[in-house]
Amino acid sequence: MKRFLLSVFCILSIMSYAVADEAKFDFTAPSGLTPSITDELFTATTTEGAYEFGTSATTFTNNGVSLNTTDGSTNSRIWKAASGKYDFRIYKTATMTIAAPEGGVITAIAFDGSAVSSFSANSGTVDGKNWTGAATSVVFTWADNAKTQKINTITVTFSTDGSVTPDQGEGGEGEGEGEGEGEGEGETEVTVTTIAEVLAAGEGEAATKGTVIATYARGFLMNDGTGSILVYLGSDKGFAAGDAVTVSGKTSVYGGLLQFDNTSVVEKTGTATVEHPTATVMDGAAMDAYLAAPSIQYVEYTGTLTVNGSYNNVAVEGAATAIGSIQYPQDAIKANLTNGAVIKVTGYTIGVSSGKYMNTMAVKVEVVGEGGGEEPEEPEVPTETQNYTVAEALAAYVDGQQIPAIVTGYIVGAVKSAPEKDSQFGADATVATNILISDNPDTNDYTECLIVQLPSGDIRSALNLVDNPGNYKKQVKITGSVEKYFRVAGLKTVTAYEFTGTTGISEVKGENGNVKTIFDLTGRKVNSISAPGIYIVNGKKVLVK
């Protein structure tokens, strides 16, 4: 009998082991992900030497399990550090949805990385870096105070044999079983109100009904005659314009607008007719104005399209800051998205991101103008090394090109992480990996400067201001390549440098602002200091390097 029971136990153990399956997402080797994220898809970041691939428009799959993210305080991204190592980075208020294969149930999720914390889940139990429970999908949300999350791998354990039943009230995906669960089971019933009332109430639990008026690959926009609201589902759930729907769930603000988040429950109740209003034609000035006061509008704008990985950005003439951004386009829209094409975009504005992108749910995209859709003519790029002033180097810069150059300018500072917000002018710079050079030694305007990447070794040791504050306002001739750096014109691949023997110091003033008396070592009175050496300034010896 004991032998029989032991045999049964062994069989059951083998069966239990056999039905558990696993999917592993390894972000340390992104080329092995599905879809494969190879280096040419990465773009340079404002952090020196680092590159990124934004993930919010991408759904990763492995062994039937899907994973997608939303952006938080900063866009979710695969990060390639200057060292060449990769990881996945997600930030406060971002979400990640992991879904089992059809008919499957997730029982465990394990995160691995140097910094993974401050997240919650819509079901199950979170213990450190691990989640356990029973759910067809799990939505993780990172807290408002979460630091940068650095994730190496995510391992998902799931069952597909029907032996595991999803927990009740698991949060719902808007489809199937989850939609009906939870009602009348101890949860507070949410009253269905108009969209206008939902918008007036602000963030919280809400329910409303209306008609889908436009879609994108992450959800839809709905309207009930009193207002419009975005329903962000995290992936395409198959809803189409004209579907009559009821939506209930949590609302939150993103991009300046209130929206339903991806834990919301959506029920299709019928169909209706959709008629779009007359589109408001927006020029560059109108787009700039939109950034300060985002709203849902039906608009039309025309500009030049740049396709960069999953991003589709439209530059409109006359816009000082604003850039049109076609969000998560459906396949029919993608067919007209060719890099360099001049296009007319018609659709709904759905908020602002990064302070400059006017997010658009496109309804229609047309290629316009003579030869529309053709690649723009590439400017002629010098192939031989040429001598430039800083102004000439800035004018010669072509995005995506490497221009051999010898640039002469004065060392005036360095950049910490982004030139527009934290350029450091003066001898007390705190960054040793780059310098700013300018034709004007007294500038404090980063737009007059070229950022020079200093390679590790002798060149960095000799030129950086942290170790050499005396280099401030020294004129230097640097050999390298004019190309994108910190998202603007820069000088990289530096191979040589030469101090020219002059400084930007033209006069020496006393505490009261008066110019002091200056003599060189021959006893000759001079009007200014134009070369390194020892000078007698107001009776005191001064060394100018």
Reported as a single tens digit per residue, the pLDDT across 310-362 is 789 999 999 999 999 999 899 889 988 988 899 999 999 999 987 889 999 99
Query: 70: closest CA among 347, 266, 259, 268?
Result: 259
Mean per-residue pLDDT over the chain, rounded:
83
- Superfamily classification of domain 189-271: Bacterial OB-fold (2.40.50.200)
d(CA 372, CA 301): 15
Look at the domain 280-367 and name its fold: OB fold (Dihydrolipoamide Acetyltransferase, E2P) (2.40.50)
Residue 506 has pLDDT above 60, yes or no: no
CA-CA-CA-CA torsion sign (230, 234, 240, 245): negative
CB-based burial label for 100 (10 Å; 0-12, 13-18, 19+): buried
d(CA 320, CA 70): 28
Length of the chain measured in residues: 545
More reliable by pLDDT, 100 or 526: 100
Query: Measured at the alpha carbon of residue 290, what is the angle toward residues 288 and 296, in degrees to the nearest 5?
Result: 150
Q: Rg for the chain (alpha carbons), in Å?
A: 30
Q: Per-residue pLDDT tens for 155-184? A: 999 998 877 777 744 333 333 333 333 333
pLDDT recorded at residue 381: 54
pLDDT recorded at residue 324: 96
Alpha-helix runs per DSSP H in 229-328: 284-292
Mean pLDDT (whole number) for 371-376 = 42
pLDDT recorded at residue 229: 97
pLDDT recorded at residue 160: 86
pLDDT recorded at residue 197: 95
φ, ψ for residue 160 (rounded to 5)? -125, 10
More reliable by pLDDT, 529 or 475: 475
Would you state the structure tokens that stand for residue 399, as one six-digit string? 């995005």
Pick the CATH number of 386-501 from 1.20.1740.10, 3.40.50.2300, 2.40.50.200, 3.30.465.10: 2.40.50.200
Residue 469 has pLDDT above 80, yes or no: yes
d(CA 80, CA 15): 41
Residue 8 has pLDDT above 60, yes or no: no
Percentage of the chain beyond pLDDT 70 is 81
pLDDT recorded at residue 533: 65
Mean pLDDT (whole number) for 212-220 = 94
pLDDT recorded at residue 437: 96
Residue with tokens 């199950």: 124
pLDDT recorded at residue 143: 87
Question: Position 84: which residue type?
Answer: G
pLDDT recorded at residue 511: 43
pLDDT recorded at residue 539: 61
Question: Position 432: which residue type?
Answer: A
Query: Measured at the alpha carbon of residue 108, what is the angle toward residues 104 and 112, in degrees to the nearest 5?
Result: 130
Percentage of the chain beyond pLDDT 90 is 50
What are the residue ranges spanned by the domains of the chain?
A: 18-176, 189-271, 280-367, 386-501, 505-545
Confirm whether 280-367 and 386-501 share one CATH topology.
yes
Residue 377 has pLDDT above 70, yes or no: no
Residue 16 has pLDDT above 50, yes or no: no
**Strand-pair category, 204-216 with 192-193:** parallel
Q: Per-residue pLDDT tens for 42-87? A: 888 767 788 889 888 788 999 999 998 988 888 899 999 988 899 9
Residue 379 has pLDDT above 60, yes or no: no
Residue with tokens 């799959």: 61
How far is the first Cα of the chain from the last one, in angstroms, to the nearest whole number?
Answer: 95
Q: In the structure, what pLDDT confidence band is assigned to residue 226 with cuts at 50, 70 and 90? A: very high
At a CB cut-off of 8 Å and minimum separation 6, what does 114 contact? Answer: 87, 150, 152
pLDDT recorded at residue 541: 62
DSSP 406-452: EEEEEEEEEESS-HHHHEEESTT----SEEEEES-TT---GGGEEEE
**Strand-pair category, 105-112 with 474-485:** unpaired
Q: What is this structure's pTM?
A: 0.42
Would you state the structure tokens that stand for residue 499, as one six-digit string? 């101090």
Q: Per-residue pLDDT tens for 63-73? A: 999 998 988 88
**Strand-pair category, 518-520 with 149-151:** unpaired
